[in-house]
Amino acid sequence: MIEISAVSKTYNTRSGDVVALDDVSMTVRPGEFVSLVGPSGCGKSTLLRMISGLEGITSGRIERTEEMVNSTIGMVFQSAALMPWRRLLDNVLLPVQLKGRIPESKREHARELLTIAGLAGFENKYPFELSGGMQQRVSICRALINDPDILLMDEPFGALDALTRDDMSALLLSIWEKSHKTVIFVTHSIEEAVLLSDTVYVMSARPGRISRRFDVDIPRPRLADVKYSQEFAELAHRIRDQITQDGDVAAARHSG
């Protein structure tokens, strides 16, 4: 498991200290799909970066229990951040190349991933030749190339149009249902969170805290149609109410 225990984060900035997270605790099981939703600035990206080790922790602990200590991590950010001078295939292979020589099997795997992502035939294109949605699909392939056990995804579909977004979440869902990776997924879309997740954590601003945890008991495999079911709508509604309520509490606090 990934155990996040009483984690707080304060950024020391020139204009003073910013408490980004305050006393956040959660446990993520191997193979669990967890989403974090909450307003901008509540510390979602900070928390993901701390889990990945990219960011230091001010207090508290993030630990992995024995069965996950050797788990590898892949990360997807909101912007695709491809290398403009590398062809798509070489962008996908970047994490492999960083480890040394690229075996032919990985090259083959990169082609497969691009095909799954609907990008067959684009292997030798450069990023500027693609739309934003296509670039983002490449960055997801890049995160998957080393078959990480843990995927940390920070609003990976945030910059995409609604239809591409639906395609991408269907793709992610099918990958997850096959591989059962541990996923921690940050999104602004409550529907996306409910569709994909086992557990949704609502975070409140500021300082960022977990205000509530929702278990998503909708059976899998989940097809896109599940969005029109009553239990889906009800859960999405409860999550939305929680976010609204947190916002009201925050506004009342600020107006003193």
Ligand X SMILES: Nc1ncnc2c1ncn2[C@@H]1O[C@H](COP(=O)(O)OP(=O)(O)O)[C@@H](O)[C@H]1O
User: Among residues 44 and 137, whose Cβ is nearest to ligand X?
Assistant: 44
Q: Residue 4 Cβ, how far from ligand X at the closest point, in Å?
A: 14
User: What crossing angle do the helices spanning 162-179 and 132-144 adopt, rounded to 10°?
Assistant: 10
Number of residues near Mg ion (by CB under 5 A):
1
CB closer to ligand X, 30 vs 41: 41
Mask for 12-51, x = binds Mg ion (CB under 5 A): ---------------------------------x------
Rounded to an integer, what is the distance from CA 110 to the centroid of its chain? 21
CA distances from 91 to 75, 122, 131, 135, 136 (A): 14, 12, 15, 10, 12
> Residue 15 binds what, of ligand X, Mg ion, none (CB under 5 to 8 Å, by partner type)?
none
Chosen from Mg ion, ligand X, none, partner binding at 11 (C-beta under 5 to 8 Å by type): ligand X
- Residue 116 binding result from Mg ion, ligand X, none, given CB thresholds of 5 to 8 Å by partner type: none
State the residues that interact with ligand X by CB under 6 A: 11, 13, 18, 20, 40-46
The least CB distance from residue 53 to ligand X, in Å, is 15
Q: Smallest distance from the beta carbon of 202 to ligand X, in angstroms?
A: 12
User: Residue 71 burial by CB count (10 A; 0-12/13-18/19+): exposed, middle or buried?
Assistant: middle
CB closer to ligand X out of 49 and 87: 49
Least distance between ligand X and beta carbon 40 (Å): 4
122-127: long-range contacts at Cβ-Cβ below 8 A with a sequence spacing of 24 or more?
122/88, 123/87, 123/88, 123/89, 124/87, 124/88, 124/89, 125/87, 125/88, 126/84, 126/85, 126/86, 126/87, 126/88, 127/80, 127/82, 127/83, 127/84, 127/86, 127/88, 127/91
Query: Residue 72, by phi and psi: left (phi above 0), alpha (psi -120 to 50) or beta?
Result: beta
Closer to ligand X by Cβ: residue 21 or 96: 21
In the complex, minimum distance from the CB of residue 253 to ligand X, in angstroms, rounded to a whole number: 16
Q: Least CB distance from residue 214 to ligand X, whole Å?
A: 18
**H or E element in which residue 33 lies:** strand 33-37
Residue 13 binds which of Mg ion, ligand X, none (CB < 5-8 A, kind-dependent): ligand X
Residue with the shortest CB distance to Mg ion: 45
CB 127 within 8 A of CB 135: yes
For ligand X, the closer of residues 8 and 199 by Cβ is 8
The residue among 8 and 45 lying less far from ligand X, judged by its C-beta, is: 45
Beta-strand relationship, 2-13 and 59-64: antiparallel
Residue ranges that bind Mg ion, judged by CB under 5 A: 45
